[in-house]
Chain A
């Protein structure tokens, strides 16, 4: 059974940093691209970042470029999102999602974690 379990969310002040983790199991992690998708409470979905199986392809939505860094450790079956210079508009549930099709980040996303809530507020 595929499982994705996010952790690391919480309440943080604007300008501070947070690191999210996603522990994967039930599939061959190194074979698939992975993504982070966020959802502000009661709002829609926004793709944040994607990474290929070997870190060779990485991309971000414009609003987080230069502030967020996605990474993965295939030996630990884990995905990460380092979030720096956080803003109130970054407040959201952050979901880790598995790419269905490919080792490169293309989509769609066939498995999602339960999400971890990041609240940016003073």
Chain B
């Protein structure tokens, strides 16, 4: 199984500042045949289901603000929120779908306002 390790577990950032969340996979999630990284990011607010933010490591889902950026390749990935807004308080999960049909998630990073 591919293990996804997120860091940090929790993060407090001031409004308007940058937030960075990291995700490392135990093996590469890059498919050489199509040069795509099978890595997604989700946002989950309290009492709500997860919401897809980023897929293919860096493609923003429709309607997601451009302050959310995904980057990385192979085994190391980053979700960056360029200017934190109050509504961004949530838990963020990375998700590898390279081993489809199965997929595995990181344990989540709790993002709060400092």
Contact = CB atoms under 8 A, between A and B. Distances in A.
A105 B100 contact: yes
Given A44-B93, A45-B93, A110 B105 contact: no
Contacts of A50: 100-102
Contacts, number: 61
Majority SS at the chain A contact face: loop
Interface stretch (A21-29, A75-83, A112-120): A112-120
Contact of A109 (B38, B52, B108): B52
18 contacts: A44-B105, A44-B106, A44-B107, A47-B103, A57-B101, A59-B101, A100-B52, A104-B101, A105-B101, A106-B38, A106-B100, A107-B40, A107-B97, A108-B52, A108-B55, A109-B40, A109-B50, A109-B52
Interface of A: 33, 44-47, 50, 57-59, 61, 95, 100, 104-110, 112-115
